[in-house]
Structure 1
């Protein structure tokens, strides 16, 4: 009979939890009560949930960082030493959702950066013109044996050489604009081109189709207006005659190679740099007085840059109004489509036609003539510009072209 409080006498006593092991370690691994000196004794207290729960921690007040962590941007032991701060990125883009004319208003923007960049561009254009002339003169002298002696606007003996050197002087402004945006304004260099910080080549090629339509409408309306108002331009010159393929192919190839770069450089300067440099002074937000809200829009930048574009050319009379309307149209499309690709397409194709026609008639020397024009020019050019603006806007909406930064 089993004694009270113990196991029955006819059953072997088995060690359990809380009891010492049998002498000699007779239990096998896995049996109840198995224990070896190399292991801690098993727990004999109340059973705990598994896995064990962590000790409750006091939660910090709402809006405060967790206990033991410093506020965002602060060092755990105070202000971060200068030599331990992470390096600031060299290129800082504009915040997401920024329109094209305010892409220069990034975090490092200061009031003096657009002014300094504009002065740097003007200085670069001056010294680059001198450098191109000197290098061109040295190459010319090495090939022909005599150095050119320019007279007036003619820097070199032939009209073709004068045209080529002028186009090169203008084309090198593109890398100058890109470098200035990176070095002085500390933003992505190709943000001068579009809100995606690059040239959108597919959109540029697609915009050439409306530009070809602009040329077709302009030529057709010009012929019609000349028939309706034959005496509107009493100083009209003879159109000349075809000079032949052999004499035309050389100037044509040079024009096709250089004019697109010259046209793109002008767009980088006037619709890219100037529009963004002026637009950087426009404040963000929705509140403010009438002047603040007006300066926040792209219209002040478009008007000022278009006026500077007109002053950079030698047009007079009705031609001044026509080129101002041209600049305003491509400037508005630049902001509307988020880049200068459509402006480059129209400018390049228009200049190609303007240079190829004199070359085809043997009057290449007239490429620099930028005088006046009759009032009938507006009758043919305004509808063509309207056609281009409407078509490009429709294509941009259909292709979902991005108009603000990501």
Structure 2
């Protein structure tokens, strides 16, 4: 049954107003899924033949398995949202009940430019400017990559990008989607408890301790704030997709294991990450009003007119009103 959403409802209040006990049960179920589902998938993968992908090597296969394992959280979250909370899945995407593809594409473009400038160009420029003069004794000859190396890189990159979209969707719908809304439902009307809670869980999913962990926490906070301010998950999805895409370009070329993620960055990398996500958040905050982006469920009361009927939110992925 489709649940009516009152017009004017902001994104962080879209969780169906069920009992606190049922909402708490749903939150606990999702938190448990973030631990048990990846562990179960990883354990199951160990029963597969170890020589199934000899081209990639064991370290890259382990990295791919870890990415796929995190992606498997998504079905569990959607099942809990639909059957425990009894809500349309589209309410996890935006106030219009679906992904606003035009807005998502614009956010991807902004994220790509921001990340390219602050995560790629600036670190390279700093490295070039601070490098001392080269000496003959320090010079090394680097062999040209073989066809096997190129093939290994391209296959790994293609798999990382495909599985990475699934992983990003799982992390975003779990944190910026489900947890932000559910914790807001438990705590009251303010979005800040939900923003803080999803940032903590998102950071915990990235295991490492250090400067990179602090940068991931800042990123999670900014993306949670953007989700509330823009009425949907698209801005967070876009930035996360672009950042992971740049990371995949590097990870595919290195025999790294599953612990290679943003939380492992040192201080220079962490500062670049914080600068990039801060610039992105401010740009998106400026662009959203210019695009007349809906921040609340469609409808509202016209001055002097009768209150409108409740708006029906369509399931995830179906067509609906709003910026497409």
The TM tier, using the shorter chain, reads: 0.7 to 0.9
Correspondence list, 1:6-405, <5 A: 90-104=1-15, 106-107=16-17, 109-125=18-34, 128-129=37-38, 132-133=41-42, 136-137=45-46, 139-140=48-49, 158-218=58-118, 219-226=120-127, 243=145, 244-283=149-188, 296-360=189-253, 363-369=254-260, 373-405=265-297
- The whole-number CA distance in structure 2 between the counterparts of 1:311 and 1:372 is 13
How many equivalent residue pairs? 282
CA deviation map 1:209-264 (0-9, x unaligned): 01101211212222344456679xxxxxxxx9874532311111111211111011
For the structure 1 residues 373 and 207, does the alpha-carbon distance in structure 2 shift closer, same or farther, using more than 3 Å as the test?
closer
- The whole-number CA distance in structure 1 between the counterparts of 2:144 and 2:226 is 36
Unaligned runs of 5+ in 2: 133-141, 299-324
Q: Is the 8 A contact 1:225 1:380 kept in 2?
A: no
- The whole-number CA distance in structure 2 between the counterparts of 1:382 and 1:128 is 30
- The whole-number CA distance in structure 2 between the counterparts of 1:310 and 1:113 is 26
Q: Is the 8 A contact 2:60 2:257 kept in 1?
A: no
Q: Is the 8 A contact 2:215 2:271 kept in 1?
A: no
Relative to total residues, which structure has the larger helix share, 1 or 2? 2
- The whole-number CA distance in structure 2 between the counterparts of 1:247 and 1:127 is 31
Shift of 1:314: 2.3
- The whole-number CA distance in structure 1 between the counterparts of 2:115 and 2:175 is 22
For the structure 1 residues 129 and 189, does the alpha-carbon distance in structure 2 shift closer, same or farther, using more than 3 Å as the test?
same
Give the RMSD, CA atoms, in angstroms: 2.9
For the structure 1 residues 241 and 250, does the alpha-carbon distance in structure 2 shift closer, same or farther, using more than 3 Å as the test?
farther
- The whole-number CA distance in structure 2 between the counterparts of 1:249 and 1:373 is 24
Shift of 1:124: 4.0
CA deviation map 1:103-154 (0-9, x unaligned): 11x34x211122111222244455544653465455537x85xxxxxxxxxx
Partner residue, 1:4: none
For the structure 1 residues 257 and 369, does the alpha-carbon distance in structure 2 shift closer, same or farther, using more than 3 Å as the test?
closer
TM-score (norm 1): 0.62
- The whole-number CA distance in structure 1 between the counterparts of 2:95 and 2:143 is 46
Q: Is the 8 A contact 1:195 1:402 kept in 2?
A: yes
Could you say which structure has the greater relative contact order, defined with CA pairs below 8 angstroms and 6 or more residues apart?
2
